[in-house]
Structure 1
Amino acid sequence: MASIQDLDTPLVEEDKFPPEGTTPDRVIVLFGGTGVGKSTVGNVLAGRPNLFAESSDTKSETKGINSKLVYVRHRGEQRYVLKIIDSMGLGDTESGDHDISTLYQLARLVTGCKGGIHQILFITESRFTDVQRECFELMQRVIFTEDVLRFTCVVRTFSEHFEESSQEVKVRDDLREQSDMMKKINRFILVNCPPTTREKTRELHEEDRRLSRVKLLDHIILGCKEIFNPGDLKDANARVGAYVQSESKLQREVDEAKQEIEKLKKEIAEKQQSADCSIAALTTEMSDLRADLASKMDMRSEEREEASAQLAAALVESQQLQIFVNEEQARSEEEIKRLQAEADQATEKMIQEMKAVEDEMAEKIQREVADSRQKFEKAYRSMGLWKRLLGRLPRVD
Structure 2
Amino acid sequence: MGGISIDDDWEFTSSSSNEVRTIVLVGRTGYGKSATGNTILGRKVFKSRASSSGVSITCELGTAELDDGLLVNVIDTPGLFDLSSGEYGPEYVRKEIIKCMDLAKDGIHAVILVLSVRTRFTEEQETILKTLQSLFGSKIVDYMIVVFTGGDDLEETEESLEDYLGRECPKALEEILGLCENRVVLFDNKTKDEGKRSGQVQELLSFVNIVLSQNGGRPYTNELFELFTELKKRAKELHKQQRKFDSLKEEYSEEAILEFEKQMQQTYDDQLKRITEMVESKLSEVTMKLKQQLDEEQAARLEAEEKAMLAQRRSDEEIRRLRENLEKAHEELRKQSEGRCAIL
The correspondence of residues 174-189 of structure 1 with structure 2, limited to 5 A, is: 174-175=168-169, 177-179=171-173, 180-186=175-181, 187-189=183-185
SS of match in other structure, 2:188: coil
Aligned pair 1:229/2:243, yes or no?
no
Of 66, 70, 74, the residue aligned with 1:72 is 66
Describe the shift of the 1:245–1:28 C-alpha distance in structure 2 as closer, same or farther (beyond 3 A): closer
Quote the residue 1:158 is aligned against.
Answer: 150
Quote the residue 1:217 is aligned against.
Answer: 202
Question: Distance in 1 between the 2:150 and 2:134 partners?
Answer: 28
Quote the residue 2:79 is aligned against.
Answer: 89
How far 1:94 sits from its partner (Å)?
Answer: 9.3
The correspondence of residues 165-204 of structure 1 with structure 2, limited to 5 A, is: 167-172=160-165, 174-175=168-169, 177-179=171-173, 180-186=175-181, 187-194=183-190
SS of match in other structure, 2:37: helix
Describe the shift of the 1:121–1:109 C-alpha distance in structure 2 as closer, same or farther (beyond 3 A): same
Aligned pair 1:42/2:37, yes or no?
yes
SS of match in other structure, 2:108: coil
Amino acid at match of 2:96: Q
Aligned length: 226
TM-score under structure 1 normalisation?
0.47
How far 1:217 sits from its partner (Å)?
Answer: 2.4
Question: Distance in 1 between the 2:291 and 2:104 partners?
Answer: 36
Contact 1:34 1:58 in 2 (8 A): no
Amino acid at match of 2:221: P
Amino acid at match of 2:281: A
Of 257, 274, 283, the residue aligned with 1:244 is 283
Q: State the Cα deviation string for residues 221-260 of structure 1 (Å, max 9, x = none).
A: 5752513322243597566423433466679999xx9xxx
Percentage identity across paired residues of the two chains: 17
Describe the shift of the 1:191–1:249 C-alpha distance in structure 2 as closer, same or farther (beyond 3 A): closer
Of 124, 128, 131, the residue aligned with 1:135 is 128
Quote the residue 1:370 is aligned against.
Answer: none
SS of match in other structure, 1:156: strand
Q: State the Cα deviation string for residues 175-229 of structure 1 (Å, max 9, x = none).
A: 46343333212211111214xxxxxxxxxx423x751442222331575251332
Of 84, 102, 121, the residue aligned with 2:112 is 121
Question: Distance in 2 between the 1:46 and 1:167 partners?
Answer: 24
How far 1:92 sits from its partner (Å)?
Answer: 8.5
SS of match in other structure, 1:211: helix
Aligned pair 1:146/2:144, yes or no?
no
Question: Distance in 2 between the 1:252 and 1:95 partners?
Answer: 10
SS of match in other structure, 2:70: strand
Which deviates more from structure 2 when the two are superposed, residues 110-119 or residues 233-242?
233-242
SS of match in other structure, 1:224: helix
Contact 2:47 2:54 in 1 (8 A): no
SS of match in other structure, 1:68: strand
Quote the residue 1:29 is aligned against.
Answer: 24
Amino acid at match of 1:72: L
Q: Give the gaps of 5 or more residues in structure 2.
A: 1-13, 213-217, 228-273, 304-344
TM-score under structure 2 normalisation?
0.53
Q: State the Cα deviation string for residues 111-138 of structure 1 (Å, max 9, x = none).
A: 7635322211110113222332121211
Which deviates more from structure 2 when the two are superposed, residues 32-41 or residues 107-116?
107-116
Amino acid at match of 2:192: E
SS of match in other structure, 1:161: helix
Contact 2:60 2:77 in 1 (8 A): yes
Question: Distance in 1 between the 2:220 and 2:140 partners?
Answer: 9
Question: Distance in 2 between the 1:247 and 1:154 partners?
Answer: 22
Question: Distance in 2 between the 1:102 and 1:192 partners?
Answer: 30
Describe the shift of the 1:162–1:153 C-alpha distance in structure 2 as closer, same or farther (beyond 3 A): farther
Give me the CA root mean square deviation.
4.3
Question: Distance in 2 between the 1:132 and 1:53 partners?
Answer: 22
SS of match in other structure, 1:29: strand
